[in-house]
Amino acid sequence: MALAIVNSLFSDNIRLLKTEASKTAYQGVGVAIATIIVATCLVCYLGDNTISLEGLWVAQKHNPALWMLNLGPFVFGFWGQYSSSIMAYQAGAMIVDQTQELRIRADNLEKETAYVSTHDRLTDLPNRALFYDRVERAIISALRLGNQPQGLSILLVEIDNFKDIYDTLGRNSSDLILKQISNRLQGLSLETDGVAKIDGNVFGILLSEMDSSGWDEEFAQQILKAMEAPFLIDRLYVNIHPNVGIVHFPEHGQDVDTLVQRAGVALHIAQKSNKGYALYEQSFDKHTPLRLTLMSELRHAIGRDGLELFYQPQVSIQTGEICGAEALLRWNHPIHGFVSPEDFIPMAERNRMIKQLTQWVLHRAFRDCALWYKQGLQLKISVNLSARDLHDPELPDLISGIAVAAGIQPAWIMLEITEGSVMTEPESALVIIKRLNDMGYHFSMDDFGTGYSSLAYLKKLPLTELKIDKSFVMDIIANENDAAIVKATINLAHNLGLKVTAEGVESKAIMDRLTEYGCDIAQGYFLSKPISVQDFNQWVQEADWKIANRNIQL
């Protein structure tokens, strides 16, 4: 098929080029004929002093120079046709060569992009998306076997002390450890591509075709054994503490989400057991935090509007005006009641739901923001982005699409990011942040002071605002250290040309202290807790804080 296309492209090109080149040959023939006519007339005139048909005939008959000239059009015609064919053929071949080269390059680029989106950059192992895909395919082929589906096992391996290693040795060394772990796991795995890195320090292993029951537990023991030997990093011997959670298909779940979620529950139990591994049992659900069992329900909550977006007001400390609000997600679970975003956001991050969740929040927040502007209330709406969002190259286009649909200006929005979310893959995060900033979106560094602050990176990011974490702000009256940190952070931010928002403003005393320190914006329970849109509108009418535009109709 491809060959046929190339061939037809080739002959089309040649035909086109030949027509172009032939034109020049015809012109040559034309010039040669014109030369014969002029020369014959000249010979006739020089001989007879006049030009007559007879004279022309005689000139043509007796003048050998004219005979030579007469050959010109044939020579030009033949030579022109011949060389145009050769040239057209060569040029056509060159174009086809180049087209093929371009096609090969495009194919390679496509393959490279597909590889990057399905593999972990550090270890080259399949990433979460590819692992889920493989498990899904394995489930489908196991189910094809009818009543007696072939067994599969999923093992999750997590490094318990990874955070300590990261905090002590830093990113480069902990990356080296992850690479070595991945090598040891691959050495153990019987199937090529059976091992995947599905999260920062979590590996997934798919085992199919189990010969006998209990084999996967044996495999878990082998994993623990393989990880026993210390890892040599920068002349230091480092020990890791892995745990393994195991699930079986079909007993423990019929779909990849449920299976991985239950492997996570088993992993949680493994952390507490001294064996270091655990095979999932239903009774585990009672002993694990609620968040581990809620995953599939969250997906339904997004689909069925089980979520709500609350807003927490922000007030300008210097002018006393209500200047903005932070959008905060709420999930009111039909059975468990209110589930904290601190539980379900990390859960959604670990699964493939954060994109949907962020999309949902952006739709709501932009729609509400547009409505407030229409009503005359000019609020800057802050929206939280999570780590995974910042590594999604589609995010800028997604946001601009939602903004256009809602009819808002980018400058009305503040996107909140955290140090941690930027630092996981700083380069790619920076590209996305810069693109959004070029579109006119403002950025705020949330939870400032709690992460691995890197001033070098802070300077690289196009920030408008620093948000001091509530853990420092809440204690500034009682704790001198916290007061010093808050004061220094405000000065630092102002020196970098940034505004400062303090969250966790729980009392008038804190508000007064922040005024003294020159802080710009306050957010906290002293002003209001996060509330629904209706309550927010009422709060704006009744609060003691000023509204810039008095002609609002809420």
Positions touching ligand C2E (CB under 6 A) are 312, 328-329, 340-342, 345, 361, 384, 386, 446-447, 470, 503-506, 523-525, 530
Q: Which stretch binds Ca ion (CB under 5 A): 94-102, 346-354, 378-386, 507-515?
A: 378-386
Question: Please, what is the minimum distance in Å from the beta carbon of residue 450 to Ca ion?
Answer: 8
Contact criterion met (CB below 8 Å) for 263 and 245 = yes
Which pair of structure tokens corresponds to residue 520? 């710009």
Q: Which stretch binds Ca ion (CB under 5 A): 173-181, 259-267, 442-450, 489-497?
A: 442-450
CA–CA separation, 174 vs 237, rounded Å? 12
The entry of ligand C2E, Ca ion, none near residue 243 (CB within 5 to 8 angstroms by kind) is none
Q: Give the residue among 359, 375, 381 at the shortest CA–CA distance from 312.
A: 381
Q: Which is nearer to ligand C2E, 198 or 390 (CB)?
A: 390
Question: Please, what is the minimum distance in Å from the beta carbon of residue 328 to Ca ion?
Answer: 7
Q: Which residues contact 501 (CB under 8 A, 6 or more apart)?
A: 314, 444, 465, 466, 467, 468, 519, 520, 521, 522, 523
Q: Which is nearer to ligand C2E, 138 or 365 (CB)?
A: 365
- Residue 389 binds Ca ion (CB under 5 A): no
- Residue 384 binds Ca ion (CB under 5 A): yes
The entry of Ca ion, ligand C2E, none near residue 298 (CB within 5 to 8 angstroms by kind) is none
Question: Please, what is the minimum distance in Å from the beta carbon of residue 362 to ligand C2E?
Answer: 9
Q: Which is nearer to ligand C2E, 14 or 348 (CB)?
A: 348
The entry of Ca ion, ligand C2E, none near residue 504 (CB within 5 to 8 angstroms by kind) is ligand C2E
Q: Which is nearer to Ca ion, 152 or 357 (CB)?
A: 357
Contact criterion met (CB below 8 Å) for 284 and 189 = no
The secondary element (H helix, E strand) that includes residue 316 is: strand 307-316
Numbers of helices and strands, H then E, in the chain? 19, 16
Question: Please, what is the minimum distance in Å from the beta carbon of residue 383 to Ca ion?
Answer: 9
Question: Please, what is the minimum distance in Å from the beta carbon of residue 121 to Ca ion?
Answer: 28
- Residue 489 binds Ca ion (CB under 5 A): no
Measure the CA dihedral 126/128/134/139, to 10°.
Answer: 160
DSSP 507: S
Question: Please, what is the minimum distance in Å from the beta carbon of residue 530 to ligand C2E?
Answer: 5
Q: How buried is residue 36: exposed, middle or buried, by Cβ count under 10 Å (0-12/13-18/19+)?
A: middle
The entry of Ca ion, ligand C2E, none near residue 342 (CB within 5 to 8 angstroms by kind) is ligand C2E
DSSP β-bridge partners for residue 314: 324
Of the residues 349, 368, 419, 446, which one makes contact with Ca ion according to CB under 5 A = 446
State the number of binding residues for Ca ion (CB under 5 A): 4
Q: Which stretch binds Ca ion (CB under 5 A): 192-200, 287-295, 427-435, 447-455?
A: 447-455
Question: Please, what is the minimum distance in Å from the beta carbon of residue 152 to ligand C2E?
Answer: 33
Which pair of structure tokens corresponds to residue 96? 């086809």
Question: Please, what is the minimum distance in Å from the beta carbon of residue 361 to Ca ion?
Answer: 12
CB nearest ligand C2E: which residue?
Answer: 524
Beta strands, E only, 250-306: 277-279
Q: How buried is residue 266: exposed, middle or buried, by Cβ count under 10 Å (0-12/13-18/19+)?
A: buried
Q: Which is nearer to Ca ion, 126 or 324 (CB)?
A: 324
Q: Which stretch binds Ca ion (CB under 5 A): 81-89, 169-177, 361-369, 380-388?
A: 380-388
Q: Which is nearer to ligand C2E, 284 or 331 (CB)?
A: 331
Question: Please, what is the minimum distance in Å from the beta carbon of residue 325 to Ca ion?
Answer: 11
Contact criterion met (CB below 8 Å) for 208 and 154 = no
Distances (CA, A) of 479 to 11, 297, 472, 486, 504: 83, 42, 9, 11, 15
Helix, strand, coil percentages, rounded to 5, for the chain: 55, 20, 25
Long-range (24+ apart) CB contacts under 8 A made by 231-235 are 231/176, 231/177, 231/180, 231/181, 233/169, 233/173, 233/176, 233/177, 234/169, 234/173
Q: Which is nearer to ligand C2E, 216 or 389 (CB)?
A: 389
Other beta carbons within 10 Å of 7 = 11
Of the residues 216, 419, 447, 465, which one makes contact with Ca ion according to CB under 5 A = 447
If DSSP states are collapsed to H, E and C, what string results for 36-52? HHHHHHHHHHHHHCCCC
Q: Which is nearer to ligand C2E, 123 or 418 (CB)?
A: 418
Q: Which is nearer to ligand C2E, 128 or 470 (CB)?
A: 470
Contact criterion met (CB below 8 Å) for 69 and 39 = yes
Return left, alpha or beta for 9; rule: phi > 0 is left, psi -120 to 50 is alpha, else beta: alpha
Of the residues 416, 465, 475, 520, which one makes contact with Ca ion according to CB under 5 A = 416
The entry of ligand C2E, Ca ion, none near residue 535 (CB within 5 to 8 angstroms by kind) is none
Q: Which is nearer to ligand C2E, 155 or 339 (CB)?
A: 339
Q: Which is nearer to ligand C2E, 153 or 382 (CB)?
A: 382
Question: Please, what is the minimum distance in Å from the beta carbon of residue 383 to ligand C2E?
Answer: 7
If DSSP states are collapsed to H, E and C, what string results for 73-111? HHHHHHHHHHHHHHHHHHHHHHHHHHHHHHHHHHHHHHH
Question: Please, what is the minimum distance in Å from the beta carbon of residue 206 to Ca ion?
Answer: 37
Q: Which is nearer to Ca ion, 446 or 482 (CB)?
A: 446
Question: Please, what is the minimum distance in Å from the beta carbon of residue 467 to ligand C2E?
Answer: 8
Binding site for Ca ion (CB under 5 A): 384, 416, 446-447
